[in-house]
Structure 1
Amino acid sequence: MDSYQHLVDTLALTLGVGWASGINLYAALLVLGIAGSTGDLALPPDLQVLANPLVIGAAGLMYAVEFFADKTPGVDSGWDALHTFIRLPAGALLAAGAVGEVTPALEIAAGLLGGGLAATSHATKAGTRLLINTSPEPFSNWTASIAEDVAVFGGMWAALNQPWLFIGLLALFIALVAWLLPKILRALRKIGGGILRLFGRRPKPAPAAITTPGEPPS
């Protein structure tokens, strides 16, 4: 029974760090680091460095920067674009480290799973933010950002304390993304096409008529 529970706990942690990294990597690092340093969570060997005060401090500083950048229209999408190259590999590395001391094949499989979840949650967040930024008011950005922060902290708590609840909620999230992401991509394509038409259909000046001496202009 203990080995079965350990397997479920490890699976939830692996999925949780991958999913959370795609939305707010620094919040996920803070949760793991603080939980590990206080003894609430026995971090796997490869993740024990997250409990170091220097790592916690750096994660806290970057979370504070992201907290404000993520709530500024336009800046949030630029921040997401930059973090495409950070969240995805970080999600893969955290997931690979979360499985503990296992065979290299299982570690690679966990990394691929974590990276895939990070890419899925990141693409959903970034695409949604691009749509939100078509509205000039900032309140929708604030609402979305706060909701994402709450989701990450709540999701990480569930992954550590209620693994079956987290796995169930993650399954619902994946089903929602499978339904929502194509709609987001179509909406973005439509907006992009409208912008291209707006700037691409300017009337061209008519060519000047050529006349010969003594011939009235046409």
Structure 2
Amino acid sequence: MSVLPLVFTSGWASGINAYAVILLLGVFGATGLTDEVPEALQRTDVLVVAGVLFLCEAVADKIPYVDSAWDTVHTVVRPVAGAVVAALLAGESGSLPELVAGAVGGSTALMSHLVKAGTRMAVNTSPEPFSNIGVSLAEDLGVAGIITFAVFHPVAAAVVAAVLLLLGLVTVVFLSSRVRRFLRRRAQRREERRPAVEGAPRPPG
């Protein structure tokens, strides 16, 4: 059977939490729940690193503004992780060229990452921190649920991931005014932190 549905779903999930995807797939493979996971993701060192980074993300992702800074750093990390995981899955199954799988996984991860980052910017316009925690928990549970579902029902999980991606894109468009407000606030804070040099006396010369 083609591994494309699992590639697509893992790409979507990697755009939200790449470390959780690597950790879950590695555990499922190491425990024998699926034969689709390559040995590279089942290695103990990979699982340990993914677990530590997952815990770091679990904390940073629930703190207002820290979550957006974390997302900025991971604009490259998540798509690359999605592409690598997809290519490894394709190489394990042999039913899909690794280059094609990497392109699908990476591009899907990039789109879902942009949805996540945009949604978080909108949420950060709210003065209270509880919305960040709620959204982060929903994302963590969603990734865990969709990856688990994909291991046993890859086609159905891919359909769910596609619907969630589409809904996410529509939501970000709907929240675009809040995103722009967040960006204005961040630019204003940078200006306030920047030392005033216009009124500083010129050095004698």
TM score, norm. by length of structure 2: 0.83
Q: Please report how far the alpha carbon of residue 192 of structure 1 lies from its aligned counterpart in structure 2 after TM superposition.
A: 4.2
Matched, 1:40 2:47: no
Report if aligned partners of 1:12, 1:160 keep a CA contact under 8 Å in 2.
no
1:139-178 to 2 correspondence within 5 Å? 139-178=130-169
Q: Please report how far the alpha carbon of residue 194 of structure 1 lies from its aligned counterpart in structure 2 after TM superposition.
A: 7.9
User: Partner letter of residue 188 of structure 1?
Assistant: V
Cα deviations across residues 167-215 of structure 1 (Å, max 9, x unaligned)? 2212312331342232233432355468879x8xxxxxxxxxxxxxxxx
Matched residue count: 189
Superposition CA RMSD, Å = 2.3
Q: 2:59 aligns to what? A: 68
> 1:24 aligns to what SS in structure 2?
helix
Q: 1:12 aligns to what? A: 5
Q: Please report how far the alpha carbon of residue 58 of structure 1 lies from its aligned counterpart in structure 2 after TM superposition.
A: 0.9
> Structure 2 CA distance, aligned partners of 1:175 and 1:166?
14
Q: 2:114 aligns to what? A: 123
**Percent identity of paired positions between Structure 1 and Structure 2:** 39
Report if aligned partners of 1:36, 1:51 keep a CA contact under 8 Å in 2.
yes
> 1:100 aligns to what SS in structure 2?
helix
Question: Could you say if the C-alpha distance between residues 178 and 138 of structure 1 is closer, same or farther in structure 2, counting changes exceeding 3 Å?
Answer: closer
> Structure 2 CA distance, aligned partners of 1:194 and 1:55?
38
Matched, 1:31 2:35: no
TM score, norm. by length of structure 1: 0.78
Q: Please report how far the alpha carbon of residue 68 of structure 1 lies from its aligned counterpart in structure 2 after TM superposition.
A: 0.7
Question: Could you say if the C-alpha distance between residues 40 and 131 of structure 1 is closer, same or farther in structure 2, counting changes exceeding 3 Å?
Answer: same
Report if aligned partners of 1:22, 1:87 keep a CA contact under 8 Å in 2.
yes
> 2:126 aligns to what SS in structure 1?
coil
> Structure 2 CA distance, aligned partners of 1:32 and 1:90?
13
Cα deviations across residues 77-107 of structure 1 (Å, max 9, x unaligned)? 111100112111111111122112649x932
> 1:99 aligns to what SS in structure 2?
helix
> Which deviates more from structure 2 when the two are superposed, residues 141-150 or residues 170-179?
170-179
Q: 1:185 aligns to what? A: 176
Gaps of 5+ in 2: 192-205
Gaps of 5+ in 1: 1-5, 200-218
User: Partner letter of residue 161 of structure 1?
Assistant: F
Q: 1:203 aligns to what? A: none
Larger Rg: 1
